[in-house]
Amino acid sequence: MPTAGEKEFAQFLRDHRARVTPNRLTVFRAMQQSARPLTVPDLAAQVEDSGLNPATLYRIIETLTELEVVHPVLQDHQNVAYELLEPFARHHDHLVCRQCGRTVDLYDCRLEETLKSISDDRGFKIDFHQMEVHGLCPDCQATPRR
């Protein structure tokens, strides 16, 4: 039985004249269940039982990115992960460790209020923002770099 999120996702696809396929639903479910952004290899591991091949997975991610269902999150200089956007997930920003790649979600109204204040002062209307702040997590700060 589909969840409310899956029904909303399927309707979103129909509204945007995109096909609702079992593979797209599988990818959506995996992303919805993940507590962190997923790289394509991470996603492939999560859906391996479905028989999805990597080429199909990349095409689905590309389509979902174009439809603004997911967006990329730069984890470090080499890895891009993906996560769901509103209305399929609550908006948040990220703290990203540049050493281990750990990503911490930021749900902080103060950040949103500050961005709005800054943009209002300049007469700018924000449609969407994505913020990633890179630094070192507590574990990497405590561990001397090799």
Strand, helix or coil at 117? Answer: helix
Q: Is the pLDDT at 77 greater than 70, yes or no?
A: no
Rounded Cα distance, 20 and 3, in Å: 15
pTM across the whole model: 0.76
Q: What is the pLDDT of residues 14-29, one digit of tens each?
A: 999 999 999 999 999 9
CATH fold, domain 1-89, is: Arc Repressor Mutant, subunit A (1.10.10)
Q: Is the pLDDT at 128 greater than 90, yes or no?
A: no
Task: Give the pLDDT mean for 127-138.
Answer: 87
CA distances, 139 to each of 95, 97, 101 (Å): 14, 10, 12
Task: Give the pLDDT mean for 15-44.
Answer: 93
Reading phi first (left if > 0) and then psi (alpha if -120 to 50, else beta), residue 123 is in left
| Domain layout of the chain by residue ranges | 1-89, 90-146
* Cα dihedral value 118, 101, 46, 87, nearest 10: 0
Say which residue the tokens 């689905």 belong to.
60
From the options 3.30.1490.190, 3.40.350.10, 3.40.430.10, 3.40.50.10540, give the CATH code of 90-146. Answer: 3.30.1490.190
| Model confidence band, residue 146 (pLDDT cutoffs 50, 70, 90) | low
Average pLDDT over the chain, rounded to an integer: 89
